[in-house]
Structure 1
Amino acid sequence: MRVEERTEHVQYWLKAKLNRAKSLDGAHFRKLRNHESVSETLSKLIETKAKGFRGVVITSLVGFSIDKRFNPLTDFYACNPRSIFEQAIWYVLTEYNIPCGKSDPLNVAKNITKLDLDWAKDRRPEQAAIAAVNFLTLCVNETDEEQRMLLEDYFYFKLIQYASKIENFALTRPNTDTKSRQWLAARLVEFSLKAPESGATPQLLVANLLKQVFQSGDVTVSGGEESVFGTNTTSKKPADIWLEFNGLPSVLFEITLKKVDKKRLEDCIESHGVLGISNLPLTFICRTSVDIGTLNDVTENTLRYKNRQIEFVDYSEFVRTSFSLIDDSGAGDVYERMRNFVESVSTSIKTKDAWNQTFND
């Protein structure tokens, strides 16, 4: 099958599956063997912020439709996952408002041949990865064609239900007219600590604040809005966020709400060496009281490591200070951009819940 034919087939087939799922109700799946167990497995697989595992399963189901001999448990890459997801599946999921990223399966299974429990145990969240393996195992091993179709239909039915729940989720909108910038700073810090969304929330907040601070000057703020999957070495980014002057990186920021260990430092140093920017200032914006405790020889929030000076700034303090440097209009713009991010269909229910808990007062 030529690439053009395959792309057309995938889009037609997937749209047909999703349209069929929309026409079904829960009663249809009562004849599915081990219905309750399968339902629980699909909930763990689908109702998670980690979209990659859904992407792996969708890609595998599409692979079955192209070649009945395809077995993702033993040779996932036999279906050309990057090509069929990025050139066909992504467009259909986007059209149907189903949460997805541009390269979901590659985010969790890049260069992975076998989708088995050995692969799953190294993924996060592990229960979603295990659920993906368990569900695909059911599909591969099912010899009864009716039961096999029920399994596939149930996956798409649950996926449509989840997408609808996200799309119809109502976000609270507090009256911020009488609130101070420091009130907003405190709420956004609280929210991002509750729901970091795999690091996307704090990165986006810091990026938006820096853009407000530097909006009238010659400095450009880059990064902060891209996918947070992968290392900077593989993505070719200078850092999570960086400042540019005259088109060249000048200051580098890494944003994290996780432990900063030597492995993270090594990744940065390696990336900067490859990109030829080892001479640029590097600052980690993190929870200094929690995240740098395992690093030795940190003095005045500064560490000299492998001939590189690395500085650490507290995340909460950075956000509060940045809000003090912008006016009310700029603060409102930051708030709206964060709200739009949370409102997106690609943002998890957990993060939307955290927003409402934080701003519902």
Structure 2
Amino acid sequence: MNVAQRNERAKQYVIDKLDLASDFTESDFQNIPNYDYIKSILLALIFVPAKGFRGVVATAITGKYLNPNYDPLNDFYSCNPRSIFEQGIFYAFENRIPCGKSDPLNVAKNINVLDDAWAKGKRPQASAQAAVDYLHCIEAASNEEQEDLINYFFFKLVEYANSIASIQIIVPDQQELANQVSANKLLEFVLRFPESGTIPQLVVSKLMKKLYSTSTVVVEGGDESVFGTNTTSKKPADIWLESSNTPYNLFEVTVKKIDAKRLDDCIQSLHSVGMLEKQVSFVCRIPEDINSLSGVQNGALNYKGKQFNFVEIRSFILSMMAFLSAQEVHEVMLELQSFISQIERPITTRNGWNSIFC
């Protein structure tokens, strides 16, 4: 069996398990030994925004399906988890179960032994510990009990996905609101529910693309399905402007602290794609995100020979919204509503949107 065949088997195995799980009810699992304990573990593992730990368990289960001798607790990486998850399990989960492209790798990080020491300090630690505990339960079970535990895991994944999908996302009626009222609501959403930076990047990207929609300038990035840092994904920035297929203005969008390491990472990323000479602007909260940087004057800083600009994200979003027509604002809101409705969006993001735009 070659790599492509193995990954396809992994994908089909998970698809079959999810399809089967849809036919179960909670009562089908109540005869599992230590049912209440097992259920509590799965609640801590699955019903949380963190995706990585349930990704670890899904990968371990699939690895055992592919190789019954696989020992995920003591030799997690021997199943080639990156390949079977990113090229198999991810596509089985896509649009069905909340997940990212590299969930198990984001939390395992080349660690082979999954134990209490590994779980300690992870965020949330309870979910990491639940992953370890559940794998221990699977390893200790008889063949028949093991299959029940595996089916229960997939049943709870489907249940969690259904609970998310049941939250209907409000479509704001922009015709009832002035642009700046909508802009302030959108800004509140960006700042209160940033989703690790995903939402600020997406909103800024959508607004910029709408502004330049009739221009020869092309806005790239922001809402791409690209995983990893700019350095690993070979992106010049979070968002950038192109003219005649040539990038010229680069934007990093964040609502987190910007320190010297962040600037060093940016320089490294620019160097890796040959764009050190391009203009870079950080769209961020001012002053809170740049308090640790010394020497910022008039919104600019020369750091290690590279000039960086800093733009206040609140005024940036409010200003862009002011240039759009009511119809264009409505179109942006529909695009955002579609994104928020995706199964991958956390419950906090979905409820946050509804609470602000209700």
TM-score, with normalisation over the residues of structure 1? Answer: 0.91
Aligned to 1:71: 71
TM-aligned CA deviation for residue 165 of structure 1: 1.6
Tell me the CA shift for residue 9 of structure 1: 3.3
Structure 2 spans left out of the alignment, 5+ residues: none
Name the Cα RMSD after superposition.
Answer: 2.2
SS of equivalent residue, structure 2 residue 310: strand
1:338 Cα deviation from its structure 2 partner: 0.8
Q: How many residues are treated as equivalent by the alignment?
A: 358
1:172 pairs, out of 157, 165, 170, with 170
Write the mapping of 1:82-121 to structure 2, written as runs, cut at 5 A.
82-94=82-94, 97-121=96-120
The within-5 A match list for 1:180-259 is 180-227=178-225, 229-259=227-257
Alignment of structure 1 residues 118-157 onto 2, 5 Å: 118-121=117-120, 123-140=122-139, 142-157=140-155
2:348 is matched with which residue: 332, 344, 350? 350
Tell me if the contact between 2:171 and 2:333 (Cα under 8 Å) persists in the aligned partners: no
Q: CA deviation at 1:223?
A: 0.5
CA distance in 2: counterparts of 1:2 and 1:118, whole angstroms: 35
CA distance in 1, matches of 2:230, 2:4: 33
SS at match of 1:295: coil
Shift, 1:30, TM fit: 2.6
The DSSP-based 3-state class of the residue aligned with 1:31 is: coil
- Shift of the alpha carbon at 1:118? 4.9
Q: Distance in 2 between matches of 1:109 and 1:229?
A: 17
SS class of match (1:43): helix
Change (3 A) 1:299 1:233: same
* Residue in structure 2 matched with residue 339 of structure 1 by the alignment: 337
Q: Which has the higher mean CA deviation after the structures are superposed, 54-63 or 34-43? A: 34-43
Q: 1:342 to 1:315 in 2, by over 3 A?
A: same
Alpha-carbon distance between aligned partners in 1 of 2:224 and 2:48, rounded to the nearest angstrom: 20
For 1:14, give the aligned amino acid: V
CA displacement 1:207-246 (0-9 Å, x = unmatched): 0111112222221111101357532111111011111122
**CA deviation after TM superposition for structure 1 residue 315, in Å:** 1.3
CA distance in 1 between counterparts of 2:178 and 2:268 reads: 42
- Alpha-carbon distance, 1:66 to partner: 1.2
Once residues 91 and 184 of structure 1 are traced to their aligned partners in structure 2, the CA distance between those partners, rounded to angstroms, is 36
Give the CA deviation at 1:314. 1.5
Is contact 2:201-2:253 (8 Å) kept? yes
Is 1:82–1:106's contact at 8 Å kept on the other side of the alignment? yes
> Residues 46-65 of structure 1 correspond to what in structure 2 (within 5 A)?
46-65=46-65
Instruction: Select between 302-311 and 48-57 the one with higher mean Cα deviation.
Output: 48-57
Q: Give the TM-score taking structure 2 as reference length.
A: 0.91
Q: Structure 1: give runs of 5+ residues left out of the alignment.
A: none
- Residues 8, 263 of structure 1: CA spacing in aligned structure 2 closer, same or farther, 3 A cutoff? closer
